[in-house]
Chain A
Amino acid sequence: MNTPCTNINRLHLFVDGELSAPDAEAFRQHLTRCAECEAGLRDLLQLELLASRALGGAAVAEPEPDALPQNVTPLRSRLKRAYQVAVPLAVAAGLAAVGLLRFQATPEIPGEVWLASADTRTFEARLSHPRADRFLPYGPMRGTSQTSEMLPLRPLAELEERKDFRGIAAAYALRGDWQQAEAFLGREPDSADKLNDLAVVALSRQRYEEALGLVSRALALDPRHSQALWNRALVLRERDLLDRAAASFDTVASLGEDGWSNEARRMAAELRTQLAEERVRWKRQVNDAWQTLSGDGAWDAKQLAQRPVVARAALYEAARTVTSKERALALLPLARELDAIGGGSVLQDYVRQVAGKDFAARSPLALGYAGLLRHSESKKDTTSLMDMLRRSGERDIYFGALVQTGAAVTDATALGALRGFAEGTPDPWLHLLAEREVIRRELAAGHTAQAEKQLMDAMLTCNGLGNIAPCMELN
């Protein structure tokens, strides 16, 4: 330090209580402006605390009569006396006693416990406690500093007395202290509310499968549990199951709660728009790549494989629609590139298998399927094509057509054929597609919870495949 503070000598006198009242007051004011004295104070207090622990003990704990303010009237002298009496009790009784020190009557719990003056929500999930479930716009940027809002402990102690553990958990959760929130929820008796709040904890820790299990149990107890429906939507969205997420938000919207209802409607619409846009983009990309593979122009396998998910989907379509051995074999370089990414030789084997087919029989079906792809948006009657495919031995094309048309959702026999084909191949993506059709059938039958769990599992499996499968297609 270039210019040592001239007041630094007074620091020791101040800490030792040897300054007169006006001098002590002046020094306290000085402290707030002098970094050197502040640092000195920190250091000196650490030393003195150590001295007290090592040498002092009883003498330090005993109040010096002249250390108490003499020319200042204590603000809360009566309270203070009661407080000093209460201290040993407080020491013995922990959290509850901290609250009892100064609260004799039963107080109204202040809203600040649940951040009543906040103007945004710091996380998206909904807690069950009514006072923590006010609708506010979601403001994620405000949620970065987890301990910025101090937790007022006395009302918490009061809540504990009332056994309102969900209220305490909510207070901790709102401040980002999920560990404490979870611990206090452990003391709450089982209920849909408790399960919902535990799901919020799981969600915050990105334990999505656990969270889905918890909200499902909450909804089994109370199918119209608004917070659980909301949180289920969030879990599904986090796993990219946008369609299911939107459906859950729809249900929240139908409950007609102030604020939440509109927000849920908006979220559902947003998710559907997002999903629709992604579908359009995906279809266009696959279609373009398929056209490239099916056309007469030259293409570069390495370049196409730079978008492996699109290229893989296009390769299936190309293999289903080729009409000659040569054109089938021409797909091999791309199959090789993609197998190098996905591992194994699944795609090369498939392409070779197709190349070995009798194209006199296969070609008409391949062309029919190509027509289906080109006109996928038009609602043309596909019955005769599907019938031909079903009876033919070209099971890979039949599989593609079933996935394309969604026919298996309403046709149990077709679903059996689809699964049979998928399970007969070593291709994990085809397994997932078959699984998706099975789940769609369950959804159509109203088995929502079971279906959503399976979708979550399928999505996890899909993500585990690495960058080879269009997981968004599971929607």
Chain B
Amino acid sequence: MADLFNRERRRFDAFIRLHRPSLLGLARRLSARSSLEAEDLVQETFERAMQEFEQLKGRTEAAAAAWLCTTMTNRFLDYCRRQRTESRGMPHLALVQEAAAQVEAQENWELVSTEEFQKAVERLKPHLRDAYRLHAEGRRYTAIAEHFNVPVGTVGSWLTLARRDLKDLLLPQVAVARERGATSS
């Protein structure tokens, strides 16, 4: 029986190693300029994942990532709610309320693989594609604006457009994959 547990533990370790870097990157952006600590957010997300690991381990990498994203978003929103009602507080596991609205976003994205995503990025207009890639590498708006020699505001609208186009490219595929009508916005 102990072997079984060691195997489970190794599996979970591998799961953390796989997902932690990208999750932490996202957490840092969410917690910027707040008292929230990105590591806490990620830590609590993985604690939750450990409880659900029985289900998660059987799912695709994309589905697991989408689940982690939803869970972390929930924890973040919970933090925001607490900030609003109290002036103190860190996110707390017991206070999280799962929102019904999360289901749609998660279901849409858990069917998209990284390969499909890379292909979709290739199909963006060149300046949107390049700006989006620079941003994904962690560059700030000002750095991207310098690179292209455009105003900072332009970078913001390019990124917004790039994301809109990516959704338009990816989500119809999802809709087809689900054999449903493409009704997502």
Contacts and interface: CB of A to CB of B under 8 A. Distances in A.
A445 interface: no
Given A16-B135, A39-B105, A42-B105, A47 B32 contact: no
Contacts of B128: none
Interface stretch (A54-62, A119-127, A318-326, A402-410): A54-62
B33 A183 contact: no
Interface stretch (A24-32, A343-351, A425-433): A24-32
> Which secondary structure dominates chain B's binding surface?
helix
Interface residues of A, number: 77
A74 interface: yes
Interface in A107-159: 147, 149-153
Interface in B15-32: 16-17, 20-26, 28-32
B178 to A, nearest CB: 16
Q: Which of A18, A21, A51, A75 has the most CB of B within 10 A?
A: A51
Contacts of A149: 94
Contacts of A84: 39
A327 B115 CA distance: 85
Contacts of B93: 150, 152
A459 to B, nearest CB: 33
Contacts of B96: 150
Contact of A51 (B4, B5, B101, B136): B136
B7 to A, nearest CB: 11
Contacts of A177: 51
B66 to A, nearest CB: 6
A444 interface: no
B26 A94 contact: no
A81 B84 CA distance: 27
Nearest to A184: B5
A38 B99 contact: yes
B50 A153 contact: yes
A464 interface: no
A461 to B, nearest CB: 34
Contact of A12 (B35, B90, B160): B160
A46 B64 CA distance: 11
Nearest to B16: A91
Contacts of A296: none
A19 B33 contact: yes
A16 B141 contact: yes
Interface in A14-52: 15-21, 24-25, 28-29, 31-32, 35, 38-39, 41-52
Interface stretch (A64-72, A238-246, A367-375): A64-72
Given A18-B140, A19-B33, A43-B108, A51 B28 contact: no
A100 to B, nearest CB: 12
A467 interface: no
A63 B21 CA distance: 11
Interface of B: 1-2, 4-5, 9-10, 12-13, 16-17, 20-26, 28-35, 37, 39, 43, 46-47, 50-51, 54, 62, 65-66, 68-70, 72-73, 77, 80-81, 83-84, 90, 93-94, 96, 99, 101-102, 104-106, 108-109, 112, 114-115, 117-118, 121, 132-133, 135-138, 140-141, 156, 159-160, 163, 166-167
Given A16-B135, A49-B26, A95-B9, 15 more contacts: A24-B32, A52-B26, A53-B65, A55-B118, A60-B25, A61-B21, A70-B33, A74-B35, A91-B20, A94-B13, A95-B50, A98-B47, A150-B94, A153-B47, A183-B1
